[in-house]
Structure 1
Amino acid sequence: MAKKKVISIENRIPKLKEARKKKANKRLIFYLLLFFILISVIVYLQSPLSDVNNITVEGNDLVDKKTIVKLSEITTKDNMWNLELDEMEEKISDLSPIKEVTVKRNLPRTVNISVKEYVRVGYVKENGHFIPILENGQLLKNHTVEIPNGDAPILSGWEENSTYLSEMTQELRNVKPSLAAQISEIHWVPEETNPYTIQLFMNNGQEVVASIRDFSEKIQVYPSIASQIDPDKEGVIHIDVGAFFVPYDQEKSGDQEEINEGRETEGEADNGTEG
């Protein structure tokens, strides 16, 4: 029997051989690219190109940028990928005014520190300076100011770190900024029957007696009440129990004017309430 000559498929189909060659070339190119990418990453991580070049701080008001950056211990010699972000956040959050902090990498070479501070709700005067009070009741003795900028009332007669001061600051936190800005001073004047009694002096010269408890809710009616009082009359607005006005010249006699706590129309507000 004559032997049959075997012909390979590659010789029979030249296109198949060419296709295999192209596939092998593509695979080679892929591996070369992957190799160069890995080399580039290693060079980047080991070179100054991955060092911190810029540090940004946002959300700070009571604490300056330099203090925050110094506490984070970040320097321009640090490698972006060697930073312990959680540890930095913990260190920065130790600052009294800081409520929340987030540290993030912002590629290629920036670190962003975002902070949220406790709200300043008042000031306490001490040794000729004013100490800011935060919403959590803390006094920022290292952040004194010569003159308050009018963004919060001055608190007088309060015991430092007392429960009453803490409750008052929490109530102030819930007062609308536009309304809080109308309050000049808040004095704690505890009575035997009610240790929560407070006395307010408003920027327009009016005096208000209220209670720490539910203060943020009851003070909301003040604008409506004040608009009903004759501007020529001076006295005390009471919003602690009910709502009434006692002129100074009638305090001893105990006379008082009942006041409607609801919002008045513009016309009614202009007429006032006659006693």
Structure 2
Amino acid sequence: MSKEDDNNINNIKEKLKKKRQNTDYVGYTAKKPEKEKTEGNLEKPPASKKVSKKAETEYDELSLKIEHYKDFEEKSTAVKNKKTPGKNRKQNVKSAGNKKSGGKKSADSSTKKKKSKGQKTKKPREKFKFKRVHLYIGIVIFLVLLLGVLLWYVFSSASDVKEINFEGNSLVTETELEERIGFSTGDKMFSISAGKAEDNVELLPVIEEVSVERDWPNNVTVNVNEYKAIAYINSEDLYFPVLENSRIQRGYPSAPRNAPIIYNFEGEEFDALVAALNEIEVDILESISEIYFRPTDNSMRRIHVFMNDGQEIVADYETFSEKMNYYIGIRQEIGDETGGIIDMEVGTSYLPYDSADAREIKDNIYNEPSQVGYIEDINEALDGVRSALGEIGNAAEE
């Protein structure tokens, strides 16, 4: 192109720039100003200077190609980039990356804004903090529940006595104990008196100790510790236990077991024999079958003993326990023979049945002992009291 053409093109560009400065751009289409809209039909644009045909053709082509005034700046930058290709490429890459990242960020921010508009923001929940008020509330709730359970238990059948268990009784029957304790099944657990029941049961001479305990929720246990039966006495074909405390359990007859039957013992002799039996070993005591009180003029404390193995023994009831504890050794020395009597009154000797001493002892076994002097005196005194009371009664009737 010639210099004239270049000058014409430059003039056209300047005119276009001035024209664009006076117009508003929306997109890539130019809008005329309001003055031009209102006065466009009235005023005609000023006539342009005459230009050559070549300039008009070039002007039309350029007007079609030009879209925005910024394109001229991009072309100028492209020319510069040709001169410095390495640096400009790097800058272009960076700008492109920034545009992409900026686009993504803007897109993300727009989506976040839309979500924030559509959804309400949730406030973070505060963590539960335990305070003293919560402790008081928990205690009150617990007490209310406990009170409710207690009221239900008291006024319902859940508090009734369902079962009474008796333990340790052998001489006393369960029916006797049930009558003594003062309560039965069906009574309320909280209404029974354990102390009163224990006092009533302890009145029985056979009872040494007793304990009445509630086994919640519905049971009661009566634990009894009885005095040991160390002998039995015979009365009208009935046997009554003699306890280790020298008391006779009358009214509770039972078959003799693990203890001897004693005959004709009264007063001091009875107490002395019971004391001796308490000191004898259990296995030896259980091997004794019968004991008779057989005093003589020469031996006022003589007793005659029959063993379960068939052996007979005579002894003094005061020294009986000491010598009787050696019975097992003495029996082993004698062997299996039972043809005599073991004499433990003074020393310890074996008397064959054909000896004079053995025959004398055998003759006195079934003879009733004569009463001791103090017993006769007591009986005479009692007879005098009876007669005096009889006379008083007769005088009162008259």
> 1:139, CA displacement in angstroms?
2.3
TM-aligned CA distance change 1:233 to 1:212, over 3 Å: closer
Alignment of 1:259-274 (within 5 A): none
Do the aligned partners of 1:71 and 1:91 also contact (CA within 8 Å) in 2? yes
TM (normalized to structure 1)? Answer: 0.76
Q: Is 1:216 matched up with 2:325?
A: no
Q: Is 1:158 matched up with 2:268?
A: no
CA RMSD of the aligned region, Å? 2.6
Task: Show structure 2 runs of 5+ residues with no match.
Answer: 1-124, 360-398
TM-aligned CA distance change 1:26 to 1:124, over 3 Å: closer
Query: Partners of 2:185 and 2:236 in 1: how far apart?
Result: 41
- Counterpart amino acid of residue 52 in structure 1: V
2:234 is matched with: 125
Query: Partners of 2:134 and 2:309 in 1: how far apart?
Result: 85
Deviation sequence 1:63-110 (CA, Å, 0-9, x none): 111210121111233222222211111101112322211111111111
> 1:15, CA displacement in angstroms?
6.3
Length, aligned pairs only: 235
Which of 131, 135, 138 is the equivalent residue of 1:29? Answer: 138
1:57 is matched with: 166
Which structure: larger Rg?
Answer: 2
TM-aligned CA distance change 1:114 to 1:233, over 3 Å: closer
Deviation sequence 1:157-182 (CA, Å, 0-9, x none): 212xx122122123223322321222
1:201 is matched with: 306
TM (normalized to structure 2)? Answer: 0.54
2:283 is matched with: 178
1:71 is matched with: 180
TM-aligned CA distance change 1:230 to 1:84, over 3 Å: closer
Query: Partners of 1:105 and 1:253 in 2: how far apart?
Result: 61
Query: Partners of 1:236 and 1:108 in 2: how far apart?
Result: 62
- Counterpart amino acid of residue 354 in structure 2: D
Q: Is 1:244 matched up with 2:349?
A: yes
Which of 179, 200, 210 is the equivalent residue of 1:91? Answer: 200
1:11 is matched with: none
Query: Partners of 1:253 and 1:215 in 2: how far apart?
Result: 19
Larger helix percent = 2
TM-aligned CA distance change 1:248 to 1:122, over 3 Å: same
Do the aligned partners of 1:136 and 1:166 also contact (CA within 8 Å) in 2? no
- Counterpart amino acid of residue 246 in structure 1: L
> 1:226, CA displacement in angstroms?
2.0
TM-aligned CA distance change 1:232 to 1:108, over 3 Å: closer
Task: Show structure 1 runs of 5+ residues with no match.
Answer: 1-13, 255-275
Do the aligned partners of 2:341 and 2:358 also contact (CA within 8 Å) in 1? no
- Counterpart amino acid of residue 19 in structure 1: K
2:111 is matched with: none
TM-aligned CA distance change 1:101 to 1:79, over 3 Å: same
Q: Is 1:19 matched up with 2:129?
A: yes
Query: Partners of 1:230 and 1:38 in 2: how far apart?
Result: 76
Deviation sequence 1:30-85 (CA, Å, 0-9, x none): 31122221232233233332221211100011111121012111123322222221
TM-aligned CA distance change 1:15 to 1:111, over 3 Å: same
1:135 is matched with: 244
- Percent sequence identity over matched residues? 29
2:295 is matched with: 190
**Larger relative CO (CA 8 A, sep 6+): 1 or 2?**
1
1:269 is matched with: none
> 1:143, CA displacement in angstroms?
2.2
